[in-house]
Amino acid sequence: MTSASEQLFAGTSLNARDRRVEWLVRNLLGLMTALLILPVVIIMTLLVVRGGPVISWEFLTTAPVDGMTAGGIFPALVGTVWLVAVALVASVPVGVAAAVYLSEYAPDNWLTRAINLAIINLAGVPSIVHALFGVGAFVLFFRFGTSILAASLTLAVMTLPVVIVSTREALQAVPRAFREACWNMGATRWQTIRRIVLPNAVSGILTGVILEVSRTSGETAPIMFTGAAFFLPFLPQGVLDQTMAMSLHLFVIATQVPDAPDALPFGVALVLISMVLAMNALSIGFRVYVRGRKKW
């Protein structure tokens, strides 16, 4: 080992050639990183430049007219809010419970490993497979039909890993001594979780929930056949109605409505990506703020 290391490094160290290589590699890697990130900047610029002029208060608050070649996006915006809200109601309790189990209860055994594997696979299964599941399970088997309920449940299953993983991280960041102190006072495990662990982790959990909102509002494939409609002249009245959605609306306007003015899909894309990135920025900002405030 020693001799091999000597051959690798000794004597060759900080000579001029190595420094040049070092400088070169460093800048090359930096350049490649910049090139990878550049598209975000370009895409945002393009969307703002080409879609910006379309956006107005009227665009956000009126329905599409003239075969979706004019008018606004109001029903799609409302629909996305519906879908996200119902998905959150379904997935947050289950996700937090799962995270509490994994962080506070689960022994290191085959079942825990299986749960972790299932979480990884839920996150890794293609979105169109989630869509097939949604059709097979919620639309057909449970007879919800194509509805907000079916679409949202599909989204909830798909984004469950986001909630579980971020909540579990938040719970595990609470120091063990906090729990032990509480147990020593005679509290049950649940009392400890409710009074000590969850309050200290709530901001981390919230970060995960915001992230889930961001993920959910951009998904298209899972809702195409489970509850989102190409065009509806009215707003959904309940969870068993179909609805329009921002993501599907962008797909439809861009590919299925050839007469739509060029700027229109850019406007829709700009609104969609602004929603998603705003949620993401909020979640990142929240995380930084929480990290700064932590005293342990």
Partner 1 sequence: MNQALDRSRDFDHRGRAWYLDRAVTVFVFIGGTSAILFIGGIFVFIAREGLGFVFSEFDAGEFFGSIAWRPTSVLDATYGALALIVGTASITGLAMVVSIPFSLAAAIFIGEFARGRVRELLKVLVELLAAIPSVVWGFIGFSIMNSLIIDIFEVPIGLNVLNAGVILGLMAAPIMTTIAEDALKAVPDGYREAAEALGATRWQVIRKVVIPAAKNGLVAAVLLGVGRGFGETMVVLMASGHSINIPDSVFDSVRALTATIAAELGETAVGSDHFRALFTLGILLFLVTFAINLTADTIMRGIRRKGQRANP
Name the residue nearer to partner 1 (CB basis): 37 or 66.
37
User: Which amino acid type is present at position 273?
Assistant: I
Q: CA separation (Å) from 43 to 17, 46, 52, 271?
A: 40, 5, 13, 13
| Range list of β-strands (E), 106-174 | none
Find the shortest distance in angstroms from Cβ 279 to partner 1: 8
Cβ(38)–Cβ(253) below 8 Å: no
- Confirm if 272 and 192 have CB atoms less than 8 A apart: no
- Shortest Cβ 5–partner 1 spacing (Å): 5
Nearer to partner 1, 42 or 66 (CB): 42
Asked whether the beta carbons of 273 and 44 are under 8 A apart, the reply is yes
Rounded-to-integer distance, Cα 34 and Cα 28, Å: 10
Give me the least distance between CB of 239 and partner 1, in Å please. Answer: 20
**Please, which residue, 34 or 70, has the CB nearer to partner 1?**
34
Q: Which is nearer to partner 1, 228 or 239 (CB)?
A: 228
173 and 201 in contact (C-beta within 8 Å)? Answer: yes
Distance CA 86, CA 148 (A): 8
- Cβ at position 74, least distance to partner 1 in Å: 19
Nearer to partner 1, 167 or 238 (CB): 167
Least separation in angstroms between CB 14 and partner 1 = 7
Query: Mapping DSSP to helix (H, G, I), strand (E, B) and coil, where does residue 198 land?
Result: helix
Tell me which residue has tokens 């989204």: 155
Of 63 and 163, nearer to partner 1 (C-beta) is: 163
Least Å distance, CB 44 to partner 1, is 9
